[in-house]
Structure 1
Amino acid sequence: MAPKTNPGRFFEDYAVGQTIHHAVPRTVKMGERAVYHMLYPARHALYSSDQFAQGCGLPFSPLDDMIAFHIVFGKTVPDVSLNAVANLGYAEGRWITPVWPGDTLRSVSDVIGIKENSNGKTGVVWVRTTGLNQHDETVLEYVRWVMVRKRDAATPAPETVIPDLAQVIPADRLVIPRRLDFSGYDFTLAGEPHRWADYEIGEQIDHVDGVTVEDAEHMMATRLWQNTAKVHFDTTARPDGSRLIYGGHVISMARALSFNGLANAQMVVGLNGGAHANPCLAGDTIRAWSEVLDKAETDAPGVGALRLRLVATKGGEAFTLKGEDGKYLPHVLLDLDYWALVPL
């Protein structure tokens, strides 16, 4: 009799060209926002107030961009990273269509790259994931690559295919939500006076605040996104007996902390790249700093774009990232390169 349970895919189960339709679509409503704002100090006004969003040309406030990311990502875990050793990086991410309360999201992934590691026990798999709503409109797309265990180390290595990925999404490929208009932007209600012109390329911002993370809250968040990766829940899944904090939890915490200094970076619309540099564990205090990497104007009225590096740390000196050997310093948790929309 065939087994009824799913042990997850191992490295041998992937091949370039595969398309994986992920199970369990999810209808999202205001409950997701309430829990998200409870878990993280999220305060960006566009995602907090219908009235503020309407003043920016939208019909009402969409759900936070990272809610869309987490839900689309979570759908992929049982098929992509259930047996992962680590989630290694991101590229070519774009938010295409806002997610509104009542939308139903599902995910589809295409395997675009594969490479066995030299130890013969693991390999790296690249997937391009698309999140779709109930109208089959793309809400989000991104590439990520994951280190996955092999089922049998004796299995011959597949032919290596490494995808050619853009280092940066050109500003003219960013999708601006329809009708978005910052020409009448209310800086008082947003919380800070700083507009696009006030930021300079190369400027660094220490976001000051910190949040100590605990197991209970990160497991609640990870369950909320229906992420079933063993390393986040099962203490026997890691040699040191700890639960690894979900990398997306660190992303959302750092993004929320960046409000202090980037309150007007209202919408994340592009993900150029990202790395989870070191593991985050319960008891770590997450802090964040940002660097302005680039600036661009857009065709939307009053709307500019900032390319930002967001770095999350667990201590250490602000604005330090890598050592002389080019490797991330031990206190660095996250290095994220993204585009955000700000008022001109």
Structure 2
Amino acid sequence: MKTNAGRFFEDFTLGETIRHATPRTLTHGDVALYGALYGPRFAVQSSEPFAQAIGYKHAPVDDLLVFHTVFGKSVPDVSLNAVANLGYAEGRFLAPVFAGDTLWAISEVIGLKESSNRETGVVYVRTTGFNQHGERVLSYCRWVMVRKRDKASPAPEAHVPDLAGVVDPAEIARHAPKLTIDSYDFDLSGSADRFSDYEIGERIDHVDAMTVEEAEHQIATRLYQNTARVHFDAMGAAATRFGKRLIYGGHVISLARALSYNGLANAFTIAAINAGRHVAPLFSGDTVSAWSSVVDRADLRGRDDIGALRLRLVAVKNRPSADFADRDADGKYDEGVILDLDYWALMPK
């Protein structure tokens, strides 16, 4: 059989390594299209002179464009037959990526667990993205619910990996070893707020909102070469429990990150993703807004000019973010919460 129907749960083996097809060279055109889709305004990624003034050789590609591109490489081999992408952990952005760099990826299967209904199973993978020089630029874990080919087929012995709840900030100092923040221009960045201006427990409602249209989320997902059927195939999607096309969860992450500029303009790069959960689905016509809370602050070893903020970014739909409460004592979310993402961002002191 020459066509690829994608892997089902039974096709995965604990410990196997999958080398994903189709390396992807990111161009200035890809960067411009990403900006047109989400409207991010962070100065480091928007301005070549600004980025060079603080030590980058060029304006780096947006961290999440890198993430989505690497993620897209893994879809045909991991989640083509997915029911849902469930979560993320141990994400590390290891080196900046620039227009002209080529990304490719491998994934290791680190966990398998059949669902109680025996119709699906959860597959855990650690995916690593490399550039054309073989240097690691990104590593993250994700777990995804995948259909079984045959409900009666035997399942492998269950193994759920032990994943860290938070990336040690000592590991993220190496993300920006050559930056010189002395030349960081707070007028051009759009905010005077620095690392010391944010308090643990502080909540920032990002005010702005974006309505998602059908065409734009499909353009975005095609940009990442993400082939998951639930995002494109209206006939196939009609047979799912949602009854219509589902917007790629990474689209929500990028929307929320872009919205977070209003309040976190100087959180100029994502250094690590500690955890992430797609709480509920998003569909065309829904309007996304977001809020962030400051979970922790960390000094970086050997740096007195940059700190790391641990931020919890929560995206919601169809109501202003200020209308939403945090989770209740039982961990239950308000109806309309669609994303809960825990990450470290670097910020000038």
TM-score category by the smaller chain? Answer: over 0.9
Equivalent residue in structure 1 for 2:341, among 323, 336, 340 = 336
Q: Is the 8 A contact 1:181 1:300 kept in 2?
A: no
Per-residue CA deviations over 1:270-321 (Å, capped at 9, x if unaligned) read 0000000000001110000000000111223511110000000003463523
Alpha carbon RMSD of aligned pairs, Å? 1.2
Alignment correspondent of 1:156: 154
Equivalent residue in structure 1 for 2:21, among 16, 20, 23 = 23
Alignment correspondent of 2:278: 276
Per the alignment, in what secondary structure is the counterpart of residue 175 of structure 2? coil
Q: Is the 8 A contact 1:176 1:300 kept in 2?
A: no
1:310 equivalent in alignment to 2:309: no
Q: Is the 8 A contact 2:207 2:289 kept in 1?
A: yes
Shift of 1:59: 1.6
Shift of 1:239: 3.8
The alignment-based identity, stated in percent, is 60
Q: Is the 8 A contact 2:31 2:99 kept in 1?
A: no
What amino acid maps onto 2:81 in structure 1?
N
Shift of 1:323: 4.3
Per the alignment, in what secondary structure is the counterpart of residue 132 of structure 2? coil
Q: Structure 2: state its 5+ residue gaps.
A: none
**In 2, Cα distance between the equivalents of 1:152 and 1:124?**
15
**In 2, Cα distance between the equivalents of 1:297 and 1:183?**
17
Alignment correspondent of 2:70: 72
**In 1, Cα distance between the equivalents of 2:71 and 2:281?**
19
Alignment correspondent of 1:60: 58
**In 2, Cα distance between the equivalents of 1:324 and 1:336?**
19
Superposed structure 1 runs of 4+ greater than 4 Å apart: none
Alignment correspondent of 2:79: 81
Higher mean C-alpha deviation, range 38-47 or range 238-247: 238-247
Shift of 1:330: 2.2
Per the alignment, in what secondary structure is the counterpart of residue 84 of structure 2? strand
Alignment correspondent of 1:253: 255
Give the total of aligned pairs. Answer: 342
Map 1:163-202 to 2 at 5 A: 163-174=161-172, 175-202=174-201
Alignment correspondent of 1:44: 42
**In 1, Cα distance between the equivalents of 2:99 and 2:256?**
24
Alignment correspondent of 1:115: 113
What amino acid maps onto 2:75 in structure 1?
V
**In 1, Cα distance between the equivalents of 2:242 and 2:167?**
38
Q: Is the 8 A contact 1:181 1:303 kept in 2?
A: no
**TM-score, normalising length from structure 2?**
0.96
**In 2, Cα distance between the equivalents of 1:158 and 1:329?**
36
What amino acid maps onto 1:165 in structure 2?
L
Per the alignment, in what secondary structure is the counterpart of residue 334 of structure 2? coil
Shift of 1:240: 4.0
Q: Is the 8 A contact 1:269 1:340 kept in 2?
A: yes
1:233 equivalent in alignment to 2:236: no
**In 2, Cα distance between the equivalents of 1:212 and 1:176?**
33
Higher mean C-alpha deviation, range 90-99 or range 56-65: 56-65
Alignment correspondent of 2:295: 293
Map 1:199-218 to 2 at 5 A: 199-218=198-217
Per the alignment, in what secondary structure is the counterpart of residue 279 of structure 1? coil
**In 2, Cα distance between the equivalents of 1:300 and 1:104?**
30
What amino acid maps onto 1:225 in structure 2?
Y
Q: Is the 8 A contact 2:220 2:251 kept in 1?
A: yes
Q: Is the 8 A contact 1:180 1:301 kept in 2?
A: no
Q: Structure 1: state its 5+ residue gaps.
A: none
Residues 306 and 112 of structure 1: CA distance in aligned 2, closer, same or farther (over 3 Å): same
**TM-score, normalising length from structure 1?**
0.97
